[in-house]
Amino acid sequence: MSKRRNHDAVFKARVALEALKGERTVSELASAYEVHPTMIHQWKKAVLEGAAGIFERGSKAAATAEIAEDTVRDLHAKIGELAVANDFLARKLKPWAGK
């Protein structure tokens, strides 16, 4: 398994750009970077789909993406907290639910 479990954006971009160059196959890149070939295909697709946005929105796109990532991370944390609280309450209220 890869030493970099949580791949950062720079790493993903570098690998995707190498895949786009076509100098090495996706299998070769996957082996070299210790990632699954499917991940490289996804990163490559993301680069191709997002390339036009660089020219449309300029540097605002990067700032918006960073904010969006932070927001998603915070929301996932909140969902986890609420799920734990919900499970706790469900267990505590179980004796009274049958009455």
Count the helices and strands in the chain (H runs, E runs).
Answer: 4, 0
Do residues 50 and 62 lie in contact, with contact meaning Cβ atoms separated by under 8 Å? no
Q: Are residues 79 and 48 in the same domain?
A: no
Give dist(CA 44, CA 39) in Å, integer: 8
Q: Are residues 10 and 40 in the same domain?
A: yes
What tens digit of pLDDT does each residue of 32-76 get?
A: 999 999 999 999 999 998 887 777 665 665 667 777 888 888 899
Do residues 40 and 30 lie in contact, with contact meaning Cβ atoms separated by under 8 Å? yes
The encoded tokens of residue 41 equal 């295909």
- This prediction's pTM: 0.51
Give dist(CA 45, CA 93) in Å, integer: 48
Domain that holds residue 48: 1-56
Q: Are residues 40 and 72 in the same domain?
A: no
Structural domains of the chain, count:
2
Q: Are residues 42 and 63 in the same domain?
A: no
